[in-house]
Structure 1
Amino acid sequence: MADMTPSSTGPAPAVRTVTLIVKPGCHLCDDARQVVAKVAAETGARVTEQDITRDAALYDRYWEQIPVVLVDGEQHTFWRVDEARLRAALT
């Protein structure tokens, strides 16, 4: 007979992923990197970074918006990262 006792732990929450799309020598990218790192550390999100100069598709799509922040693959913001807005999107 199967155990029908409810689990007190339940499924583990999915880890959110923040992707920062940047280019070399970009001061706004440096600013965004700091905000993303801080909020990700607070929320447990995973951070990945992609260099727009190494990917033609990213270059074509985002060149005029750098830096770009994606949350779980969806565009969240570009140019300036609002710390409170990013935190809200991750919680």
Structure 2
Amino acid sequence: MPESRVVLYSRAGCHLCEEARSVVVEECDRAGAGWREVDVDADPQLQARYGEYVPVVEVDGTVQGFWHLDPVRVREALDSQPT
């Protein structure tokens, strides 16, 4: 399995998180990139950091968007070399 270049910060019951997950899956499959999902409500520090901004998506440690995820931005980030 490829290393996780993408992290999706989400929470249960979040319809925007479901939409973001679909974008992440599609773009990571296209790029052959690994991804992982982190439940912000399982960690008080993440909950405080992201609050109501979920979903948040990072590619190679850089935030690419929150709430409504732009697939083109994720694609371009995945097409660039990891730093």
TM-score (norm 1): 0.80
Q: Which of 62, 68, 71 pairs up with 1:83? A: 71
Q: Quick check: which has more Rg, 1 or 2?
A: 1
The answer for unaligned runs of 5 or more in structure 1 is: 1-13
SS at 1:81's partner residue? coil
Identity of aligned residues (%): 42
Shift of 1:43: 0.5
User: How many correspondences in the alignment?
Assistant: 78
The answer for unaligned runs of 5 or more in structure 2 is: none
Indicate the RMSD between aligned Cα atoms, in angstroms: 1.5
Higher helix proportion, which one?
2
Shift of 1:75: 1.5
1:65 maps onto 2:53 in alignment = yes
CA distance, structure 2, for counterparts of residue 74 and residue 30 of structure 1? 21
Correspondence for 2:24: 36
TM-score (norm 2): 0.87
